[in-house]
Structure 1
């Protein structure tokens, strides 16, 4: 039996989901986010850290919007996760740390979602420990709830989403559906 056959069906999840955000809305939100980011980093080349895997679709599109506004970026990525395919978080596991020196640099962390913020807080603190002078967060989505850990917020937000299990556009359903061109929410968690 393969790992793929052990996962819940993405087709079943989609049949049991609502489309919360369509592609056109995502595109508009990302374009709008680029304006204040380009202003805040004008004349600089920040370290643009994509948090894998989820932020990949968003980070790519946002970087193009920033380039269209004249902002150059130094690309790198990190992979830190608490989920590892599960639907609830555990201990933070680092799978890849950036190769770019952060010492004396401004850093823009780019992530798909700010939920409770445990992972983002740990990553931000790590960047500061590496000598970054400023660490800001660009999150495609922020969940609407009051469970966010103290000390973490996104300076740049694309959209707020309901406090439901969401997937698509970088966010996964059991490591599936990250490349869906919209954001979906399960009607009920199976």
Structure 2
């Protein structure tokens, strides 16, 4: 069990990269783009758990067209600060054969998890797979150079971040902003 004093200290020392207001404005902009592009596509929307939960919740209320919603849970982190092998906790249970799919996730970092999810959906018969991420980390370590999110809320420097669904050792997903861990 993590030391709660340490968890609190991480927040106290963290750098705020984006405020709640900046994030909300970015989510509204992403929603406008998705409304323009997917309103007539009858998409199946998958929230990637747990990180995508807050972004998806805020985004979905601004989408003004019918959609089918579900979730999936794939992770490489398991409450650690570095990723390992992809682990499926819950695969999609809603059929998306010959339909557009929108994957909503918290962050595009190196992209291993998102790439695996996109590939899974394509191989399982999705007509087209779209991706929306709240944060796109700016660095040159992407899993595949061609992997880019279709909808991006905000770019982010290459630091260890948390808040708005992203965690630090399982904590601070609930932080109302995007914060960087001091020294990471």
TM-score when normalising by structure 1: 0.93
How far has the Cα of 1:21 moved from its partner?
0.5
Q: 1:148 pairs with 139, 142, 150, which one?
A: 142
Match of 2:170 among 159, 169, 175: 175
SS for the counterpart of 1:62 is helix
1:91 paired residue number = 85
**Aligned 1:4-23 pairs, distance under 5 A:** 4-5=2-3, 9-23=6-20
Q: Does 1:130 align with 2:127?
A: no
Which residue in the other structure is 1:164 paired with?
159
Runs of 4+ in 1 over 3 A off after TM superposition: none
Q: CA RMSD in A?
A: 1.2
CA distance in 2, matches of 1:187, 1:64: 33
Q: What residue ranges of structure 1 are gaps of 5+ in the alignment?
A: none
Alpha-carbon deviations, 1:142-167, whole Å to 9, x = none? 00111112231101000001100000
Report whether the alignment pairs 1:51 with 2:48: yes
Report the TM-score, using the length of structure 2 for normalisation: 0.96
2:66 is aligned to 72
Q: Is the 8 A contact 1:168 1:179 kept in 2?
A: yes
Count of matched residue positions in the alignment of Structure 1 and Structure 2: 183
Gaps of 5+ in 2: none
39-48 or 22-31, which moves further after superposition? 39-48
**In structure 1, the residue corresponding to 2:62 is in which secondary structure?**
helix
Structure 1 residue matching 2:61: 3-state secondary structure: helix
